Amino acid sequence: DVKVTQSSRYLVKRTGEKVFLECVQDMDHENMFWYRQDPGLGLRLIYFSYDVKMKEKGDIPEGYSVSREKKERFSLILESASTNQTSMYLCASSLPPPGNTEAFFGQGTRLTVV
């Protein structure tokens, strides 16, 4: 059974803290993604990685960074958490085109910044 695992389901952090969200996949996928999901806005792409140590900015990268040191692990870092980063964060992985590019998602991390 394919699996994308996010390290926490719920997190509460204080403003200004550095926050790490971890994601691990066991499918040997090249692509990994971080999204945030907010009501009415859908899933907005924060960062995308297509290989180890390779990354691209998504639509809303400001205030975030990422790390991919190993193929199976993709970390999202909030350098200095702010209240407007309170959201649901979703990680996903997939193979690149051509072929089956279906993405598999983790269960999400609901982050509250107080």
Partner 1 sequence: AQSVTQPDIHITVSEGASLELRCNYSYGATPYLFWYVQSPGQGLQLLLKYFSGDTLVQGIKGFEAEFKRSQSSFNLRKPSVHWSDAAEYFCAVVGMEYGNKLVFGAGTILRVKS
Contact call for residue 60 and partner 1 (CB under 8 A): no
Q: Does 97 interact with partner 1 (rule: CB under 8 A)? A: yes
DSSP assignment of 65-92: EEEEEETTEEEEEESS--GGG-EEEEEE
Number of residues that bind partner 1 (CB under 8 A): 28
Interatomic CA distance for residues 95 and 77, integer angstroms:
23
Residue 11 or residue 45: which is nearer to partner 1 going by CB?
45
Closest distance of CB 14 from partner 1, Å:
26
Residue 40 φ/ψ region, left for φ over 0, alpha for ψ in the -120 to 50 degree band, beta for the rest:
left
- Interacting residue with partner 1 among 24, 25, 33, 87 (CB under 8 A): 33
Residue from the set 92, 109, 111, 113 that interacts with partner 1 by CB under 8 A:
92
Closest to partner 1 by CB, 37 vs 67, is 37
| Using rule CB under 8 A, residue 41 touches partner 1 | yes
- Give me 17's structure tokens: 């803290």
CA distance 31 to 114: 32
Query: With left for phi above 0 and alpha for psi between -120 and 50, is residue 67 left, alpha or beta?
Result: beta
Which residues sit at the interface with partner 1, rule CB under 8 A?
A: 31, 33, 35, 40-45, 48, 50, 56, 58, 90, 92, 94, 96-103, 105-108
